[in-house]
Amino acid sequence: MSESTTQSTDINPDDTIKILVASDIHLGYNEKDPIRGDDSFIAFEEVLQHALENDVDAILLGGDLFHVANPSTNTLDRCFRLLKTYTLGDKPIRLEFLSDQNDNFLESLSRTVNYEDPNMNIAIPVFSIHGNHDDSGGAGRVSSMNLLSTNGYVNYFGKWTDLSKIDIRPILLRKGETKLALYGLSYMSDARLCRLLDDAKVFIEKPDEHGFFSIMVLHQNRAERGPKNYLPESSLPQFLDLIIWGHEHDCRIEPEENAAKKFYVSQPGSTVATSLSEGEAIPKCCGLLSIHKGLFRMDPIPLKSVRPFVFESIDLATVQEELALDEGDVQQRVQAFATERIEAMIERAKQQQSGYARQPKLPLIRLRLVLTEVEQQFNAIRFGFRYHGRVANPQDMVIFKKKPKAMVKDELGKMLDKAALQEAYRNQREQRAQRAEEIVDRYFREADVMNQLEVLYPRSMTELCRRMVDYEDDEACEKIIKFYENKALEFLRAQDNLSEEGICEALAGFPAADPEVHEKVLHMLDTRSKPQDAVDPLRRFRDLDDEAENNDGTTGKGTMDTTAAKPARGARGGGARGGRGSRGGARGASKATVAAVTTTTGAGASRSRSQTSISSLFASQTSNNGSIASVATRTSSRKPAATKARQMDFDSDDK
């Protein structure tokens, strides 16, 4: 807890929203491994058990529930069984739903929260966004999250449907006197998200009513991993109270306050180790989030079902004299040293045994040896054979890393100062980019004139590599080539008096003829494959209303009443089940006006502007980090400083 923790002894449980928070479950990871195949399912079941034991009002997941977008039938079956066992039942739901569910659940079959579906019997509602692993942007356009939503097990929200802008509307919930605004932003490419932020095309709608505690759950890189390859915290709007940050696997679940924006960030981390890195060795947790009006607290819950994992990194230069690595059989000396360290790590792993009945017994061990000379390296696979039956990963237990050069010089051979050294390191890191799309992008940026593409856009080739590597989308290549072929033919047919000899010269002007062709390619790839006639009629009518209003020069959504077209509620949907959340008259709250929220940190900066001044404001706004300009939000007035969230303490009796 921070020093500003507010003590509170008058906390009414009927006004407290309790949410079990977890992220990066990665169901199905390594499922074919006879030793580690059950790890992800065992950990997820413990998370669900904690939700049941703490009598939470909801479960909130930060993405990557599955390890792949289209998991095996075995993984789906085990997931359905767990959710059916722990989240279905007759327990009354105490969360009242206030917002327009047609906007919140576009991917839902019934366009409603699952606990108000008369065909479902929900005891604990699960809310989840998708991550980069269970993203539905790949081949088939239907992911595991879509299946969970269709079957009513999960409330899938936060999915963006437009590549040209992001419009985020909150899920509004109420329990007693506590009101919650839940924002979701499912995973998208960090570079694309940064471009949209730069262009002020990210819109966040604020409730027109004060008193909401605002939470945003997202799934992006938090740590800087290259130019525009992460989401800076400073790019998020200041009115938010708490950020649930998925995607990063190291557990930092204790809320950390952002000094500039005054909101808190909680990073749950993963529940299963998907890589043998130092961050994954941090003890795994889920969190119990309690919200009472403008106060909150996050109680970490250590997971006892996680396989023991010990990570150690040793620079052999620090033990060179001790091991006498300058003489004799260096390889044998290093191998003997590794044996000693591995035995000590296995003993340390025994201390991580929690006594939980289903906790795996064989530990994960990762020893990283930083070499000073290649001669120090030995056969790690052969070395691991002797540890079969003692560790869970004998084949990759030891890895070697070549120590980088200690000094960096510029082109003239002069030593660089500290600032220049950091700049040189950033440049080298960018040049050493290992992702396929980064390599392709760098190739076309640095290629000579003879090797430049004449018809295809280099950015489209970068996108092609990303989809083939990340999503295994084998159809993307054919779709992109066919798209460019059709566009090029249209361009050539539009030329007057074009001879066969002039085709090549004419094609040279093709890229400049349509500067937005790459954006059209992205839209084509991310558009659902089903024909327009098969689109849900309610969605189509709303689209027509939008088009009609835009033609009139106005903004905002259509006024057509779509509630009449909803399926009739059964006896279980409203109150017969004892306290089901009713949307009542508060549902469909009026949309607030569009305003701009800058990312400057000045306390006196106004955060509400008229719509007519948005473009000029964004044009003149500069970013704190030089890359993110601003975030536009839908709001009616500035949030009073007195309502800013603070962490709180509950008495043990009130937990």
> Across-strand partners of 267?
252
Amino acid identity for residue 475 in this structure: E
Say how far apart CA 46 and CA 53 lie, in whole Å.
10
On whether the CB atoms of residues 439 and 468 are closer than 8 A, the answer is no
Closest to 629 measured CA to CA, from 599, 604, 595: 599
CA 57/CA 92 separation, integer angstroms = 10
- Cβ(599)–Cβ(235) under 8 Å? yes
Nearest C-alpha neighbor of 487 from the set 525, 514, 463, 458 = 514
d(CA 554, CA 539) in angstroms, rounded, equals: 20
Neighbours of 67 (CB within 10 A): 22
- Closest by alpha carbon to 266, among 298, 229, 224, 226? 298
410: its two tokens: 């510029």
CA neighbor of 86 nearest in space, from 41, 38, 34: 41
> Hey, is 353 helix, strand or coil?
coil
CA distance 278 to 286: 19
Give the Cα separation of 270 and 251 in Å (integer).
7
Exposure string for 458-470, b = 16+ CB within 10 A, e = fewer: bbbbbbbbbbbeb
Edge-to-edge strand order for the sheet containing 630-634?
166-168, 202-205, 630-634, 594-598
| Residue labelled with tokens 């108000």 | 116
Residue 385 and residue 141: Cα distance in Å, rounded? 43
Angstrom distances, CA of residue 78 to CA of 31, 204, 247: 11, 36, 23
Beta strand 16-22 pairing with 285-292: antiparallel
Catalytic residue at 133?
A: yes
Q: Where are the alpha helices (DSSP H) in 136-182?
A: 144-150
The whole-angstrom separation of Cα 256 and Cα 298 is 11
Cα distance between residue 241 and residue 258, in whole Å: 10
**Distance separating alpha carbons of residues 585 and 78, to the nearest angstrom:** 40
Q: Give the three-state DSSP class for 598.
A: strand
Q: What's the CA gap between 321 and 323, in Å, rounded?
A: 5
Alpha-carbon torsion (594, 518, 248, 150), positive or negative: positive
Within 8 A by CB and 6+ apart from 566, the residues are 110, 111, 112
At which residue do the structure tokens 């977890």 appear? 22
Residue among 372, 397, 377, 367 nearest 318 (CA): 372
Task: Using DSSP, state whether 300 is helix, strand or coil.
Answer: strand
Tokens found for residue 565: 């077209």
- The DSSP symbol for 108 reads -
* Catalytic residue selected from 26, 50, 133, 247: 133
Catalytically active residues, by annotation:
133
